[in-house]
Structure 1
Amino acid sequence: MPQMAPLSWLLLFIMFVIIFMLFNVMNYFSFLYPVSHKTKKKATQKINWKW
């Protein structure tokens, strides 16, 4: 039906893109990663050079 067509297809596309981006942002920031407070020490190995 022509009367149901949006006023601007570009505006409709922008609206869907914004909704899609908001959906992705909300899903990304709603998931909480478990926080690990373990500190790993860097293992250094000393090499004695024998000439």
Structure 2
Amino acid sequence: MPQMSPLWWEVLFVTFVMTYFLFNIMIYFNKKNMLISKNLKNNKIINLTWMW
């Protein structure tokens, strides 16, 4: 029978994994929003400088 790890190791591991996934999700959505906002800013600049 394998040796059992202490409960606090398991708790630390689970909290580490959860925070890792949460931070990666937050970073992904933050970068996605930043790209959208950059595109909007670029479109506004192009529209303002365009002349007939």
TM-score, normalization: structure 2?
A: 0.55
Structure with greater helix share of residues: 2
CA distance in 1, matches of 2:25, 2:5: 30
Aligned residues: 36
* Shift >2 Å, 4+ stretches: 3-6
After TM superposition, the structure 1 = structure 2 runs for residues 21-36 of structure 1, keeping only pairs within 5 Å, are: 21-31=19-29, 32-33=32-33, 34-35=36-37, 36=40
| CA gap 1:9/1:18 in 2 versus in 1, 3 angstroms | same
> Which consecutive residues of structure 2, in runs of 5 or more, have no partner in the other structure?
45-52
Q: Report the TM-score when normalising by structure 1.
A: 0.56
What do residues 6-28 of structure 1 show as CA deviations (whole Å, max 9, x unaligned)?
Answer: 31100100000000000101111
Instruction: Give the number of the structure whose alpha-carbon radius of gyration is greater.
Output: 1
What root-mean-square deviation, in Å, do the aligned CA atoms of Structure 1 and Structure 2 show?
1.9
Query: Quick one: percent identity of the two aligned structures?
Result: 8
Q: What are the equivalent positions in structure 2 for 1:4-43 lying under 5 Å apart?
A: 6-31=4-29, 32-33=32-33, 34-35=36-37, 36-37=40-41
